[in-house]
Structure 1
Amino acid sequence: MRNWCMRHPIGFMALYLLFYLLCFTLLEKYVTVPDLWVHCRLDDLIPFCKYAIIPYSMWFPWIPFTLFYILWRGPRNEFWRLCLPLFTGMTLSLLFYLIVPNGLTLRPHTIAGTDFFANAVRALYRTDTPTNVCPSIHVFNSVTLMFAYYRSSCFDKPGRRWMRPAAVILCTAITCSTMLLKQHSVIDVVFGILLALALDYAATLLEYETSPLRRQQRLKRKQRLPEWW
């Protein structure tokens, strides 16, 4: 299976997308009564802003764009370096939603206006229930993608360096939009960021331990040990 995934990265992404959408849909349908309500005092200080639907929605094309761009422009190992924490974190989040069902009650009762932004928010609220929110996958994915822009060598070229600060701006805008739309609590955002940091660190350690240089170091150390060791 691993060899097949290495040879067919697009097929691997398609399979994971199906897995994720299936699991998320089942959770949304059957896990509807949270055991944990997420809320903190900072949530009450953040105003609702219907215009935040724009950066919030940019999350959806940003993920496939980044994956395909690095797959196309960068070394294959950098593509897998992004996939490892990204898909692991999404899977762990789904598992946490199952074990600890959580939700929030931050959404406004009514949304004023009949303009595009108000209608878009209403459509979002209809399709996405206020459950399965902590940690925020929106925030986790955004931070993980931002790290990839600074790690991948395909953004080293002068004509592409602008994409790195652009990724920071987009990540920040998406993160803020989750709170401005009352889709997530500050707590969800914090845990999404912490999950991204933890898995990025774990992926870095794994990359180092499996690198050719590390294997050479272990081999040299083994050669220096006495026979009785």
Structure 2
Amino acid sequence: MRNWCARHPIGFMALYLVFYLACFAFLEKSILVPDLWVHCRLDDLIPFCKYAIVPYYMWFAWIPFTLFYILWRAPRADFWRVCLPLFAGMTLSLLFYLIVPNGLSLRPRSVPGTDIFAQAVRALYRSDTPTNVCPSIHVFNSVTLMLAYYRCSCFDAPRRRWMRPAAAVLCLAITASTMLLKLHSVIDVVFGILLALALDYAATVFQHEASPLGRQQRLARKQQRLPEWW
């Protein structure tokens, strides 16, 4: 299976997409009344903004764009370096939703206006239930992708360096949009960021241990621990 994934990265992404969408749809239909309601005082201080729907929807295009761009331009190791924490975090989030069903009650009772932004928000509210919110997958993915832009060597080229600050701005905009649209609590955002940082650190450690330098260091540590008579 590992060799097949290494040879077919696009097929691997497609299989995981099917798995993720199937699991998320199951959770959306099965968890109707959450066991845990997420809320904090900061949520009440954040105003609702229908224009935040623009960066929120950009998230859906940013993920495939980034993955395919890194697969096309960067070394294959950089592609798997972003996929490892990205897909692991999404899977862990789904598992947490299953173990601790959670939701929120922050959405406004009505979204006034007939403009395209108000209509888009109302459509989103109809299709997306206020459950399975903590940690925020929107935020987790955004932070993970932003870190990838600053790590991948393909963005070292002068003509591509602008993509790094652009990724940081987009990450901040998407993160803010989840709260401005009342789709996520500040708590969801914080845990999404923490999950991204934790898995990114774990992937860094794993990558170092799997590298030739890491294997040499492990061998050196083992030799240092051997008794003199050995």
Q: TM-score range by the shorter chain?
A: over 0.9
The one-letter amino acid of 1:106's match is: L
Q: Distance in 1 between matches of 2:195 and 2:4?
A: 28
User: What TM-score does the superposition give when structure 1 sets the normalisation length?
Assistant: 0.97
Give the drift of 1:219: 3.4
Q: Deviations over 1:133-179 (max 9, x none)?
A: 00000000000000000000000000000000000000000000000
Q: Distance in 2 between matches of 1:93 and 1:150?
A: 24
Q: Does 1:173 align with 2:176?
A: no
Give the drift of 1:226: 5.7
Give the drift of 1:31: 1.0
Could you say what secondary structure the match of 1:167 adopts?
helix
Q: Distance in 2 between matches of 1:75 and 1:127?
A: 38
Give the drift of 1:218: 3.0
Q: Does 1:40 align with 2:40?
A: yes
Give the drift of 1:32: 1.2
The one-letter amino acid of 2:179's match is: M
Q: Distance in 1 between matches of 2:114 and 2:45?
A: 25
* 1:159 corresponds to: 159
Q: Distance in 2 between matches of 1:46 and 1:209?
A: 43
Could you say what secondary structure the match of 1:111 adopts?
coil
In the alignment, structure 1 segments of 5+ residues that lack a partner are: none
Q: Deviations over 1:99-130 (max 9, x none)?
A: 00000000000110011000000010011000
The one-letter amino acid of 2:90's match is: M
Could you say what secondary structure the match of 1:183 adopts?
coil
CA-based RMSD: 1.2
Give the drift of 1:63: 0.3
Q: Distance in 2 between matches of 1:88 and 1:212?
A: 24
Q: Does 1:130 align with 2:130?
A: yes
* 1:17 corresponds to: 17
Q: Distance in 1 between matches of 2:96 and 2:136?
A: 11
Q: Deviations over 1:57-86 (max 9, x none)?
A: 000000000000000000000000000000
In the alignment, structure 2 segments of 5+ residues that lack a partner are: none
Residues 222 and 101 (structure 1), Cα distance of their counterparts in 2 relative to 1, 3 Å cut: closer
Aligned length in residues: 229
User: What TM-score does the superposition give when structure 2 sets the normalisation length?
Assistant: 0.97
The one-letter amino acid of 2:216's match is: Q
The one-letter amino acid of 1:108's match is: P
Q: Distance in 1 between matches of 2:197 and 2:221?
A: 31
Could you say what secondary structure the match of 2:215 adopts?
helix
* 1:146 corresponds to: 146
How do residues 74-153 of structure 1 correspond to structure 2 at under 5 angstroms?
A: 74-153=74-153
The one-letter amino acid of 2:52's match is: A
